[in-house]
Amino acid sequence: MKTFEEKWTAWLDGQLSGKELAEFESSLPDLAAAEVEKRDAQKLGAFLKEQLTTQAMSNEEFFSHQLHEWIARESPARHRSTSTWWTIPRLVWSGATALALFVITTVVLMSQHQPGEQSEYLTQILQSRVDPAANPNATISIFESKTDNKVTVLWTEGLQSLPADYAAK
């Protein structure tokens, strides 16, 4: 079954006949407007056939045209045969080199760190106090760093607010 567009194109080209032509013309909402459009399309086709003729080429233009076509045909084949810098062996060697550099860097950094030393980020819990009136599941923890900065962190969990008698010093 042809679509409307296929039937329309066949009708414009004069390829419909008999029963098929009668059915198509009866399905058109405005046959007179369609006939006008058909005449306009045929005029346009005749005009384009008249205006769009092939131009004769001189010998130089023809030779140049042939060279351009030959270069265009050969260029993709030439580019496909050349290899890129990232071939499989180079990728493998690059990966192995990166892995070796990572292992060497890790070994050097690990040898500088003594396992018995305390970290400079080590903290100590000074005290923990729970206020059962505020919340029986609440905890208060105070951490103080061992560095020269003497930073103290107050960590609260489960409290709606701090008790009134607790003040930061």
Query: Domain coordinates of the chain in residue numbers?
Result: 4-51, 123-157
Tens digit of pLDDT for each residue in 68-115? 888 888 876 555 555 677 888 899 999 999 999 999 999 988 887 666
Residue 70 pLDDT: 86
Q: Judge whether 111 and 133 are in contact, CB under 8 Å.
A: no
List the chain residues with pLDDT less than 50. 168-169
